[in-house]
């Protein structure tokens, strides 16, 4: 069998986890961050271009592209980004006979006009306008036939843009997470929420719900996981009794998957029209900005449910997200490029 040599750029924890999963299957996969990341993720390579002037940055990327064309056969781009902002590298790679896939993770394709039509709660990153997204996707689709997303909320934005769109759930190496199931007898459970962006994740509604429930006599601890390293965030997740993910987007995020791998009950907003697209055994407790107070209250009042959801969540990750299972799906795509 010919060994596949794959390069993943330019950043992200999901990208690193996927690359590790591919390595475990004998693929020569390398994850590369262009810049150092504030969460201290550990890719195989970090170019640290954030320490350079914009002129030096381009020079370093150009040099890296030249080397990469000698070392890799498949280029796996994440977040709709490539070596250069103007996407001029795509033409060079195509001309050199290199295979390419693009992996969209969220804001890079969540068109505001379309998102708002399907979801009254959604908030998008203001810099990602319809026009910017269309231009970016169009430039990518000119040279790339295969696009990957992690759920059906995202698939809808690009299913007419690329020849092939694959929906593959987050890669989670379940062996890297020890399940610590919540204990129903815990009188002061720990509720955590880890927003990468407070506005987009609906943090204000979670804070309001927490304050309202505490005022009405509920006893629990609440912790916001912000500004800490990836390892520290995982550690806090493993201590939690209940994890609240995002309330605006309408799909489960990477934190949902990590929390379920830790054996925790997860609250997250899954859009009503998308629930049926998930496997039937998805154990996420659905809540939106209007219902979060009631949903959290019910979960706090039913501690026997914590462990039940925790066990179901861990099984769900092992069945649908576990690295070796997910990696095979990527390998199939690579082989058909």
Domains of the chain: 5-172+323-335 (3.40.50.2000), 175-320 (3.40.50.2000)
CA distance 121 to 209: 16
Pair 111, 298: CB distance under 8 Å: no
What per-residue confidence (pLDDT) applies to 39? 67
The conformation of residue 218, written as its DSSP 8-state character, comes to -
**Rounded to the nearest 5°, which phi and psi values hold at 8?**
-110, 125
> CA 190, CA 300: separation in Å to the nearest integer?
10
Residues of the chain with pLDDT under 70: 1-2, 39
DSSP 8-state code for residue 86: T
Under a CB-based contact definition with an 8 Å cutoff, are residues 21 and 173 in contact?
yes
Q: What is the pLDDT of residue 37?
A: 77
The residues facing 33 across adjacent strands are 46
Q: Specify whether the CB–CB gap between 61 and 87 falls below 8 A.
A: no
Q: What φ, ψ does residue 168 adopt, rounded to 5°?
A: -130, 125
pLDDT for 143 equals: 98
Residue 319 is predicted with a pLDDT of 97
Q: What's the pLDDT tens digit per position in 265-302?
A: 999 999 999 999 999 999 999 999 999 999 999 999 99
The pLDDT, as a whole number, for residue 197 is 87
Predicted pLDDT of residue 1: 52
Q: Say what the pLDDT of residue 2 is.
A: 60
What SS3 class is residue 307?
helix
**pTM for this entry:** 0.91
Q: How far apart are CA 238 and CA 263, in angstroms?
A: 8
Distance CA 233, CA 314 (A): 18
For tokens 């309330």, what's the residue? 247
Q: List alpha helices for the chain, DSSP H.
A: 13-24, 54-71, 88-95, 112-118, 130-143, 152-158, 198-201, 203-215, 230-239, 254-261, 292-301, 304-320, 323-335
- Position 166 scores a pLDDT of 98
């Amino acid at each position: 069998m010919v060994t596949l040599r794959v390069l993943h750029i330019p950043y992200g924890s999901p990208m690193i986890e996927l690359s590790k999963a591919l390595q475990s299957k004998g693929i020569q996969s390398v994850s590369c961050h262009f810049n150092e990341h504030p969460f201290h993720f550990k890719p195989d390579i970090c170019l640290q271009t954030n320490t350079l002037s914009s002129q030096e940055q381009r020079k370093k990327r150009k040099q890296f592209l030249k080397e990469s064309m000698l070392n890799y056969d498949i280029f796996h781009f994440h977040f709709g980004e490539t070596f250069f902002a103007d996407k001029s590298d795509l033409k060079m790679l195509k001309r050199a006979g290199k295979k390419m896939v693009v992996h969209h993770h969220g804001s890079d394709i969540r068109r505001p006009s379309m998102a708002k039509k399907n979801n009254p709660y959604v908030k998008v990153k203001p810099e990602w306008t319809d026009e910017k997204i269309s231009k970016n996707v169009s430039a990518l689709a000119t040279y790339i036939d295969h696009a990957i997303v992690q759920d059906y909320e995202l698939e809808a934005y690009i299913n007419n843009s690329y020849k092939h769109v694959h929906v593959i759930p987050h890669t989670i190496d379940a062996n890297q997470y020890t399940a610590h199931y919540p204990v129903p007898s815990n009188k002061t459970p720990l509720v955590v929420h880890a927003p990468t962006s407070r506005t987009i994740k609906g943090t204000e509604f979670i804070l309001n719900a927490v304050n309202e429930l505490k005022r009405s006599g509920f006893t629990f601890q609440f912790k916001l996981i912000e500004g800490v390293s990836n390892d520290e965030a995982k550690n806090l997740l493993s201590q939690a009794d209940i994890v609240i993910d995002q309330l605006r987007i309408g799909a489960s995020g990477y934190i949902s998957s990590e929390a379920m791998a830790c054996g925790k009950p997860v609250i997250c907003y899954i859009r009503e029209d998308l629930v049926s697209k998930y496997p039937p055994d998805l154990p996420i407790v659905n809540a939106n900005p209007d219902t979060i107070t009631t949903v959290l209250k019910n979960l706090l009042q039913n501690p026997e449910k914590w462990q039940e959801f925790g066990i179901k969540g861990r099984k769900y990750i092992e069945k649908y997200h576990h690295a070796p299972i997910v990696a095979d799906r990527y390998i199939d795509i690579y082989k058909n490029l």
